[in-house]
Amino acid sequence: MMRSLYSGVAGLKTHQVKMDVIGNNIANVNTVAYKSQSITFAELMYQTTQNASGPNAETGRAGVNAKQIGLGVQSAAISTAISQQGSSQNTGNAFDLRISGDAFFVVNGGSGNKFTRDGSFYVDAAGNLAMSSNGYNVMGWQVDQNGDIVQDNVSALKILAPANMTSPPQVTSRANMSGIVDKMDPQVLGDGKIVNLQIYDNLGYSYTARFSVQSTDEEGVYALTLEDLRDANNDSVLDKYNANIFTGTAFDPTAPGTTINREKTYSLSDKWSIVAGTTKGEIVSSDGSTTIDPTNAALTDEQKAQYAQAWGVKDWETLQSLQFTKKGDPLATPPVADKVVGFADLFLPANADVLAEVMDTTDATLTSSGYIAQNGKTLTVSYDQISGALSKIGGTNADNFYLNIEPIEAGADNPFSMDSAQGDDKGAPGIAIYMNDTTNVNNEKKSTISATSGDHDAFGTGWALGTMTGVSIQNDGKIYGAYDNGQTKLLGQIAFAKFANASGLEKEGDNLYAATLNSGEFDGIGVDVAADGGKVSTGILEMSNVDLSSEFTELITTQRGFQANSRIITVSDTLLEELVNLKR
C-alpha cells in the first residue's frame, strides 16, 4: 500500500483539527473575555530506508545522506492567546468588571476554586457577588472589626449581607465654628448671636446645642454661652443631662496644692455625712457618735470604697495620697484658691442623696472624664485686635473647647460617651469644637458665625443610622457601600490570581480555567490586582480577542491545505488503480 495515501489521510485529519480550532474561535467572537486559540503542525514520523554513511578516506568515496520517507503530519500544539487583551465594551453596569493586566478573577461553584477573565457579575438573592453566566461565587477578602481588609484565604463576597445594608450611627466627636463675629452686630451687642450645632449621640438621635456669642466690656473678648440642649422635637433636655463647655484643663487629684471644697455638708447616705470645716475631711455618722478618719486604716473595704467615692477618687490608696487642705490654705503649694473642685454626683455612691453644687467663685465642676469645666456654661473667646484672628478660649491659648454631656441620673448610661468615637477622638472628654476659622472683623454689622459637624479640616463626625443607597467597586477591587447618612463602608475586596505560565491553564468551558501542573498553583490567598500596576475598570467588559480577518485568512489556507491533501489521496488511488489494472 502506498505511503502517500496515509500521508494524505494524516493531512486531512490535521487540517480538520485546525478547522475545528478556527471554527471555535469564530463561534466565540462575541464571548466575554474569550481567548483565541491557534494550532501548529509537526511532522508525524519518518521511515528510514537507508542510513547515512560517512566519508571513506581509504576508498576516496564521500559520505551519503540517509534516505527517509515522511509519513504525514500531526497537530503539534494548540496555544491560547491568554495574554492578549480583548477590546473594551461599555455596559454601564456597576458590577461589570474588566481586568487590565494578566490577573484572573477567582470564582467558586462548590467544587474548588476556578479562574476567569469574565467580569460579568451580579448580586444574587443571598447578597453574594456571582458570575452572571453560571452563578459561581466571586471570591475575595473580608473586612475585620476595625474595617480593614484581611488578606487571608479567599471566601465568597457577600456584599449585601444584612449587616451591610445599614451604616451604624456614630456619636459626634468633633465640630467646627466658622465665620465672622462683627463687634457692631446688634445681636452680638444685645442678647447674643445664636449659633446652633447639630450633634448625634451614639444611638443616632439628633440634638441641637444652642450657643450664643455676646460682647463683653473688654475689647475683642466675647462670652460664648451654652444656652440650651434640645432634642429632635426642639424640647430642652437639660432636665436629663448636664451639659458644660470647657477648655482641656486636666485634673489630677494627686497634684500638690489640689484643694477640695468642703464649705457645705454633702449627704452620702442616711448614715454618713461629710462635715464642713473638718481639717482632714472626716466622715461623721448622723448621730455624731462615729468618725472615720482617712488616715485610719482600720476600716472595712466597703467604708474605704465609699469614702474614696465621696471624694471623687478611684480608690483608697489615691485618697490617702491627697492633701486635704482648706480653700486658700497657705500650706497648699502652689496656692490654687481660684481652682476649687466641687463634687460631681457620679463620683458618689449610687444610693447617695446628692447635693453636688458648685461652691466656689469659678464655678468649677469635675466631669466624669476628669476635666475641670471652668464657667460650666460660659467661656470667654478672645480675638487679636490687629489681625482679627482667634487668640484664646477660656483664657488659654487653645483653638478649641469641649462640650461635655452627661446624664443627671447617677449610674445611667451616657449616649454621648466618647468611648464609641473613632480614631484619636475615642475617649475624649467631650465633643471638641474648633474655632480656628472664626474671625473678629468688620462685616457691615452682620455676624456670620455658624457651627457644623466636623473640624476645620472638614473631617466630619456624627451621623444617624444610614440605609444603603448603592455599591461601588474601586480600581483595586475594593467594594464600598454608600449610605443615605453620607457615609461609605468597606464591604470587602475582590482577590485575584496570577500564574507563572497562564497559557498552561486548562479551559473548562463556561469561561472558566483550572490550574494545571504547567500553569503553577494558586496559593488560596491571591494577590491585589494593583500590586504590580494592574487595575479593575467598572461598567466595562473585556471582549473576545478573536481577530476575524486573521481567522478568515486561516480559513483560506486551511481549505487549500485540506484540498491539496485530498488530491494526494485521489492521485494515490489512481496509481493503485493502474497497478491493479496490470493484471487483466
Low-confidence spans in the chain with pLDDT less than 50: 250-295, 322-375
CB 245 within 8 A of CB 377: yes
Answer yes or no: do 216 and 70 share one domain: no
Buried b or exposed e, range 217-227, using 16+ CB within 10 angstroms: eeebbbbbbbb
**Angular region, 10: left φ>0, alpha ψ -120 to 50, beta rest:** alpha
Last residue of a domain, one of 404, 434, 464: 464
438-470 pLDDT, tens digit per residue, is 999 999 999 999 999 876 665 668 889 999 999
Distance of CA 363 to the CA centre of its chain: 43
Q: Name the residue type at position 288.
A: G
What pLDDT is recorded for position 311? 53
Same-domain pairing of 440 and 575 = no
All cell numbers assigned to 96 = 461589570
Phi and psi (nearest 5°) for 131? -70, 135
At 399, list the grid cell: 483653638
- Cα angle 199, 202, 207 (rounded to 5 degrees) comes to 30
Task: Say yes or no: 482 and 424 in one domain.
Answer: no
438 in any annotated domain: yes
Shared-domain flag, residues 272 and 320? yes
416 and 453, same domain (yes or no): yes
* Residue 158 located in a structural domain: yes
Statement to judge: residues 274 and 296 lie in one domain? yes
Could you tell me if residue 60 is inside a domain? no
The answer on 175 and 207 residing in a single domain is yes
Residues 259-279 have pLDDT tens digits of 333 332 333 333 333 333 333
Among 464, 486, 509, where does a domain finish? 464
> Which residues pair with residue 120 across a beta bridge?
96
Q: Is residue 471 part of a domain?
A: no
Residue from 202, 148, 211 nearest 463 by CA: 202
pLDDT for 428 equals 83
Domain-embedded: residue 366? no
Whether residue 245 is found in the same domain as residue 259? no
Residue 501 φ/ψ, nearest 5 degrees: -135, 85
Identify the domain boundary among 464, 488, 513.
464
Is 365 part of any domain? no
Give a yes or no: residue 359 inside a domain: no
Q: Which helix (H) or strand (E) holds 49?
A: strand 46-50
- In this structure, the answer to whether residues 285 and 330 fall within a common structural domain is yes
Domain range for 394 is: 169-250+371-464
Judge if the upstream peptide bond of residue 334 is cis by omega within 30 degrees of 0. yes
Residues in the chain: 584
Which candidate, 328, 317, 351, places its Cα nearest to that of 262? 328
3-state DSSP of 56-74: ECCCCECCECCEEEECCEE
The amino acid that residue 18 corresponds to is K
What pLDDT is stored for residue 536 in this prediction?
A: 94
The domain total for the chain is 4
Q: Which of 507, 558, 519, 497 is nearest to 153 (CA)?
A: 497
pLDDT value, residue 455: 66
Residues forming a β-bridge with 489: 481
Give the contacts of 14 (CB within 8 A, at least 6 positions apart).
Answer: 41, 72, 73, 74, 75
Q: Are residues 458 and 447 in the same domain?
A: yes
pLDDT of the residue at 319? 56
Q: Are residues 376 and 233 in the same domain?
A: yes
CATH number at residue 193: 2.60.98.20
Helix, strand and coil percent figures for the chain, each rounded to 5: 15, 35, 50
Whether 73 and 101 map to the same domain: the answer is no
Contact 545, 81 (CB under 8 A): yes
Partners of residue 450 on adjacent β-strands: 178
The reply to whether 212 falls in a domain is yes
